[in-house]
Structure 1
Amino acid sequence: MPTVRTNDIETYYERRGDGPPVVFIHGMIMTATMWEPQLGALDDVFTTIAYDVRGHGRTGGADRNPYSIDLFASDLAVLLDELDIDRTVVCGLSMGGAIAQAFAAAHPERVAGLVLADTFPPGPLPLTGRLALANIRFLARLDRLINYKTLNRWQLRVGNWLLPGVSGDEVTIQRIVDESPTIPHAEFVKIADATARFPKDSIDLSRVTAPTLILHGEHLPMANEEITGQLVRQLTSTDPTVHVVPGSGHASNLDNPELFTARLQEFLTGCVYSARPEDNDDPSDAGESP
């Protein structure tokens, strides 16, 4: 099981392929496994790296308390150092998108491209966003009485009943959660609190200059458009491309993997890595690599 020491933990990662690097960051209570559709489609052209965020899956937790998105971003920076990757595309979903934002703002020179899926920015959120973050903190505490895997199953079903499609492919999502190593209660609380605090973190997204792709599910509440708008407005030094992923909810890479992956491939080959000399017949016309 490949791991590297990142700060005070052993971080599990999967590395495939041989080409320009793309790093994938999963959502809360998920693992690197959630990116399997994208890893399988891209690893013949790109070096794909997916890892289990601190406290999740096969990555250990720590006595440190509290956790923060900045700490998760620091873990990512050390992981890339250990893997000898200077610059990469960073792709994160939900909590992973928050980590990607924090990393890109702290290390803009290391980001060749930024992909943010079904996520939220720092700063004040609309009511539905605030309620969603309050909900994850509540569920983390309730986990002491009812295991979060069971709570997640109920939440997915209720979500799709109240707002059809909002939970997306609940069968696949729940399977990944069920098959992943169980997160200890204390770790779950620290992870949930770090995620919920992110809107109050001091993250300057104007520092991000890399090409940016924003993706969000069609069936997420209308407030998601407002949240996406806030994200776009904060990315003042880049010109983000925004796509709605049809037929998907909060995990659009799993709900509609074909279209999600197609948009990602277009972004990687058209906006980020298209200028590599090895991709052109005449290297003199290739321009500067990102």
Structure 2
Amino acid sequence: MPFVTIDGQPLHYIDQGTGPAVLLAGSYLWDQAMWAPQIAALSPHYRVIAPDLWGHGQSGPIPQTTTSLDDIARQGLVLLDHLDIECVTLVGLSVGGMWGARLALSAPGRINGLVLMDTWLGAEPDPTREYYFSLLKQIEEGGVITPQLLDVIVPIFFHPDIDRDSALFQDFRESLAALPSDRLRQSIVPMGRITFGRGDLLSRLGELDADATLLMCGDQDQPRPPAETREMAELIGCPYVLVPEAGHISNLENAPFVTDELLTFLAQRNSAKP
């Protein structure tokens, strides 16, 4: 199990396969296992790197010096340096896209391609930010994600008609219910406040390389609706794709579609079909 110490804490990551490098940056409240279908499909052709967010999976607590998504992006570059990866295609979903775009803007020479999925690079609208902050406060005060909070939080990540008895839904619910108090208070809540308290990056989207950028979004994504993806695609000048029958975790809800889109994009960016 590979780890790298960054800002005094151990960051866990998957490093699988050989070839051009692909960095998979995942969603808040999910670990690198969310990328399992894509890792299986990509790693025969590419070197796939998938880190766990601080306090998620096997990574250590969020470093005390980490106060913004810019810090997370800087730490992502430290990981690439540690792995001697000069250039990478970055695929970021949700918060992974938020810090992934910041990495691309701060170090454009390190990015061969950028896929932003189910994400929004503007500031969180005031009503939803305050709503999420109120949920985080309840979690911090109680030291647990109660069944009542699970009933609110878990459905946010999926399309509205998902079978709530499905393994995908229930496994995610159980993973959140099992989070210990110290991890919730030390990492999950602070990471949530960093995510939902982020600054507005929309004015800088024109700096991204439109020819090397693709946006994707579940066609039934509730927290990050397709209209946001369309707006960002227009600002960047890049194409976008809606993932059929998928919500926020579109790479799992319609894994074959997302994987095919990624393989096509990666082949184009690396000038040869894998």
Same fold by TM-score, threshold 0.5 exceeded?
Answer: yes
**In the alignment, is the contact (CA less than 8 A) between 2:133 and 2:193 conserved in 1?**
yes
Residue deviations 1:102-160 (CA, integer Å, cap 9, x gap):
1111111111000111110125x6xxx55443333222111132623746631256659
State the shift of 1:197 in Å. 1.9
Does residue 141 in structure 1 map to residue 140 in structure 2? Answer: no
2:198 matched residue in structure 1: 198
State the shift of 1:244 in Å. 0.7
State the shift of 1:185 in Å. 1.3
Counterparts in 2 of 1:80-95, with a 5 A limit? 80-95=80-95
1:212 matched residue in structure 2: 213
Residue deviations 1:213-242 (CA, integer Å, cap 9, x gap):
11111112497233113312332xxx4221
**In the alignment, is the contact (CA less than 8 A) between 1:34 and 1:176 conserved in 2?**
no
Among 247, 250, 254, which residue is 1:249 paired with?
247
Q: Which moved more, 1:177-186 or 1:91-100?
A: 177-186
In 2 relative to 1, CA 222–178 (structure 1 residues): closer, same or farther, beyond 3 Å?
Answer: closer
State how far apart, in whole Å, the 2-side matches of 1:161 and 1:115 are. Answer: 20
Counterparts in 2 of 1:144-155, with a 5 A limit? 144-145=141-142, 147-148=144-145, 150=147, 153-155=150-152
**In the alignment, is the contact (CA less than 8 A) between 1:7 and 1:78 conserved in 2?**
no
Note the aligned Cα RMSD (angstroms). 3.1
Note the residue ranges of structure 1 that are not aligned, 5 or more in a row: 280-290
**In the alignment, is the contact (CA less than 8 A) between 1:94 and 1:118 conserved in 2?**
yes
Residue deviations 1:30-57 (CA, integer Å, cap 9, x gap):
1111111100111000000001122322
1:260 matched residue in structure 2: 258
**Aligned residue pairs, count:** 269
State how far apart, in whole Å, the 2-side matches of 1:11 and 1:5 are. Answer: 6
In 2 relative to 1, CA 72–121 (structure 1 residues): closer, same or farther, beyond 3 Å?
Answer: same
1:286 matched residue in structure 2: none
1:70 matched residue in structure 2: 70
Three-state SS of the structure 2 residue aligned to 1:50 is strand
Counterparts in 2 of 1:175-194, with a 5 A limit? 177=176, 183-194=183-194
2:9 matched residue in structure 1: 9
**In the alignment, is the contact (CA less than 8 A) between 2:158 and 2:248 conserved in 1?**
no
TM-score normalised over the length of structure 2? 0.85
AA of the residue aligned to 1:229? R
In 2 relative to 1, CA 222–252 (structure 1 residues): closer, same or farther, beyond 3 Å?
Answer: closer
Residue deviations 1:143-181 (CA, integer Å, cap 9, x gap):
132623746631256659994359995235435546777
Three-state SS of the structure 2 residue aligned to 1:200 is coil
Q: Percent identity?
A: 25
**In the alignment, is the contact (CA less than 8 A) between 1:35 and 1:253 conserved in 2?**
yes
State how far apart, in whole Å, the 1-side matches of 2:113 and 2:157 are. Answer: 33
Residue deviations 1:77-112 (CA, integer Å, cap 9, x gap):
000000000100001111111011111111111110
2:169 matched residue in structure 1: 170
In 2 relative to 1, CA 216–130 (structure 1 residues): closer, same or farther, beyond 3 Å?
Answer: farther
Counterparts in 2 of 1:47-62, with a 5 A limit? 47-62=47-62
**In the alignment, is the contact (CA less than 8 A) between 2:92 and 2:100 conserved in 1?**
yes
State how far apart, in whole Å, the 1-side matches of 2:189 and 2:138 are. Answer: 10
1:42 matched residue in structure 2: 42
State how far apart, in whole Å, the 1-side matches of 2:199 and 2:192 are. Answer: 13
Note the residue ranges of structure 2 that are not aligned, 5 or more in a row: none
**In the alignment, is the contact (CA less than 8 A) between 2:246 and 2:254 conserved in 1?**
yes
**In the alignment, is the contact (CA less than 8 A) between 1:89 and 1:111 conserved in 2?**
yes
Three-state SS of the structure 1 residue aligned to 2:85 is coil
Three-state SS of the structure 2 residue aligned to 1:204 is helix
Three-state SS of the structure 2 residue aligned to 1:148 is coil
State how far apart, in whole Å, the 2-side matches of 1:189 and 1:222 are. Answer: 18
State how far apart, in whole Å, the 2-side matches of 1:47 and 1:260 are. Answer: 18
Three-state SS of the structure 2 residue aligned to 1:45 is coil
AA of the residue aligned to 1:142? Q
